[in-house]
Amino acid sequence: MKPKIVVLDGYVANPGDLSWDALAALGDLTVYDRTAPSDVVARAAGADAVFTNKVVLDAAAIEALPSLRFIGVLATGYNNVDIVAARRAGIDVCNVPAYSTHSVAQLVFAHILQIANHVGRHSTSVKKGGWQHCQDFSYRLTPIIELAGLTMGIYGLGNIGKEVAKIASAFSMRVVALTSKMQYELPEYITAVDRDTLFREADILVLAAPLTKENARFVNDRTLALMKPSAIVINTARGGLVDSTALARALDSGRLYAAGVDVLDQEPPRSDEPLLSCSGCYITPHVAWQSDVARRSLLEVSAANLAAFLQGRPQNVVN
């Protein structure tokens, strides 16, 4: 008998330009574009395998699904799944590590270079006649920041953090990192530092760590007060790593130069999200992972995870 497979929120990963065929070949597949919290149990009822991107599978939902034996996370982060409850129920939870490493690192530097050079703002100015009417051969609308010689601080040296560090080194930046790794385990261009040193020395702070109970609000009033007023914060990891009210205060008061964020505490954001109206904050709608190459890899590895589970050799198990 074919296993019943349900994808709860497939639209963002695959709005129709990619194929679910690899998953469909493994069983009886139903794909929902989106699933409201109140519909999770009804839609997943009787399923052997459920895939979720951001839909929450908490203890109550897991306990209400006695047929469930596999949860596939269509992402690397899995904080939307109660992995303890899943383990207790004998359910394997599998994620997709490293599929978006290059895409996320690329967006980190897209934010950094946008803040450093403001290409879009200058291009718009030129197209509106700013250059034609300029008395000089050149003009600038903002400070132009050179990255060479600046200190890149990185929180979290997983696949993405290491890729960001490599690119920073190629820009001739000094790289420091807060990491559980020992100094001898790191490339020669990365120096391990403690938390306060990270905030004090970073000209650009990049958050590349998963969100846990222990590191929620890692960026807050106290840690922001340690930073240089010329510093930049980049968050492409999880919104919960940042106290957005504290970040907005620091930006609006001039205690921090700029921020680039791809993630927020609540997504889509609340109307009263303080960063939406904050000067010096540049926001993208959680697109770092969304390159075509990354999404294709996501679907391929997700199908491979389920295939491996069905063959009795599960891979990428997080619980």
Query: Which active-site residues does the annotation give?
Result: 238, 267, 286
Give the DSSP H or E segment for 295: helix 292-310
Question: Could you give the angle at which helices 101-117 and 119-127 cross, rounded to 10 degrees?
Answer: 50
Measured between alpha carbons, how far is 152 from 149 in angstroms, rounded to an integer?
Answer: 9
Measured between alpha carbons, how far is 241 from 221 in angstroms, rounded to an integer?
Answer: 13
Measured between alpha carbons, how far is 128 from 122 in angstroms, rounded to an integer?
Answer: 10
Residues 6 or more apart from 105 whose CB is under 8 A from it? 160, 163, 164, 167
CB 85: neighbour CB atoms within 10 A? 18
Give the DSSP H or E segment for 73: strand 70-73
Measured between alpha carbons, how far is 246 from 220 in angstroms, rounded to an integer?
Answer: 6
Q: How large is the C-alpha radius of gyration of the chain?
A: 22
CB 234 within 8 A of CB 261: yes
Residues 6 or more apart from 244 whose CB is under 8 A from it? 264, 265, 273, 274, 275
Measured between alpha carbons, how far is 308 from 290 in angstroms, rounded to an integer?
Answer: 25
Measured between alpha carbons, how far is 160 from 186 in angstroms, rounded to an integer?
Answer: 14
CB 114: neighbour CB atoms within 10 A? 16
Nearest 5°: phi and psi at 315?
-130, 160
